[in-house]
């Protein structure tokens, strides 16, 4: 199963075709809607907005700074997407 954002559909189908040819097995792809920020830009590493859980990729300080500097308009949505916390 190959999973990616909806903007990666072409890459996913190419990967599926390649895997099927080499392994002769059934392979599936799934896309999920992109997460966007309140200004409409994509949330992700391409836009310099990636935050990693691995401290080798994002230091604890940068991790904290990323979330503390998140636009107020995005906080509620991001809490729903990225945590199990209750908003109440």
Tell me the average pLDDT of the chain: 89
CATH code: domain of residue 88: 1.10.240.10
Q: Residues 39, 74: one domain?
A: yes
Q: Residues 57, 84: one domain?
A: yes
Per-residue model confidence (pLDDT) at position 33: 92
Choose between 86 and 28: higher pLDDT.
Answer: 28
Provide the pLDDT confidence category of residue 48 given band limits of 50, 70 and 90.
low
pTM of the model: 0.64
Q: Where is 18: in which H helix or E strand?
A: helix 9-23
For residue 37, the 8-state DSSP code is: -
Q: Residues 1, 25: one domain?
A: yes
Per-residue model confidence (pLDDT) at position 72: 94
Q: Residues 46, 74: one domain?
A: yes
Choose between 84 and 86: higher pLDDT.
Answer: 84
Contact 65, 54 (CB under 8 A): no
Q: Residues 43, 10: one domain?
A: no
């Amino acid at each position: 199963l190959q999973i990616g954002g909806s903007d990666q559909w072409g890459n996913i189908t190419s990967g599926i075709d390649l895997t099927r040819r080499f392994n002769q097995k059934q392979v599936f792809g799934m896309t999920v809607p992109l997460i966007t920020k309140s200004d409409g830009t994509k949330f992700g590493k391409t836009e310099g907005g990636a935050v990693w859980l691995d401290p080798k990729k994002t230091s604890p300080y940068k991790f904290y700074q990323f979330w503390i500097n998140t636009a107020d308009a995005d906080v509620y949505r991001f809490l729903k997407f990225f945590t199990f916390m209750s908003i109440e």
